[in-house]
Amino acid sequence: MQKRSDHDKRSAKVSLTEKGEELCRKLVEFNEAQAKRLNGDKEATEKPSTAIDVSRNLENRFSEYLNYG
């Protein structure tokens, strides 16, 4: 949400809407769940190629979550 300043029309106050705040909460929850899942993946921490694959997988899931919820 954007609101122009009453005193200085060059500046604007920007804040999240309720929908934006809810999305941020969901993204934090998603990030925490993925971090827990990755933390328990011993193979990913031992093999760099596996870690890269896991990172790509995480990026894909994150993108899907943003696009489709």
Residue extents of the structural domains in the chain: 25-69
Residues 6+ apart with CB under 8 A from 15: 1, 3
Six-digit token string for 26:
């969901």
Cα gap 23→60, rounded to integer Å:
18
List the pLDDT tens digit at each of the 69 positions of the chain.
Answer: 888 888 887 888 888 899 888 888 888 888 788 777 777 766 655 666 666 777 788 888 888 888 776
The burial of 24, by beta-carbon neighbours within 10 Å (0-12 exposed, 13-18 middle, 19 or more buried), is given as: exposed
* pTM > 0.75: no
Place of tokens 């993204």: 27
